[in-house]
Amino acid sequence: MATIEECRSALDKLSDNMAGANGDVQSAAALDRSLSCRITDLDITFVGRLRDGRIVVLDTVEGPPPEKAEIRLAMTGDDLVAMVDGELHFAKAWGSGRVKLEAGLRDLMRLRKLL
């Protein structure tokens, strides 16, 4: 099972990858939205913002997020690490229910370019 530190490191790596992206991926990541990433097996949530193509983690809280973020992710720590390391494809994980993504329709349309 991935640790809190490994999950935080994976989010940092994902942020770096998004910041270095070009074209459609860069434009899709260039949102300014509140973001939460719930790690279900650790019962923690990383709370922050997606801003200027980066994920900015502002806090880590126990349990579900205290407020509903505009973009909400939920998955196990192992799935987060595997996705960021390229071992698990996001679209397949999302389609099978291993990863949950909730956002407004416009945001989902933009975020699909990241998939």
Sketch out the chain's domains with CATH numbers: 4-114 (3.30.1050.10)
Tokens of residue 33, six digits: 């939205």
For the ranges 34-48, 67-81, 100-114, the lowest mean pLDDT is seen at 100-114
Tokens of residue 16, six digits: 């770096």
Helix (DSSP H) and strand (DSSP E) numbers for the chain = 5, 5
CA distances from 23 to 10, 26, 27, 53, 99 (A): 23, 5, 6, 12, 25
Model-wide pTM > 0.75: yes
Distance, CA of 98 to CA of 59 (rounded, Å): 24
pLDDT tier at 8 (50, 70, 90 boundaries)?
very high
Nearest CA to 82 out of 15, 20, 13 is that of 13
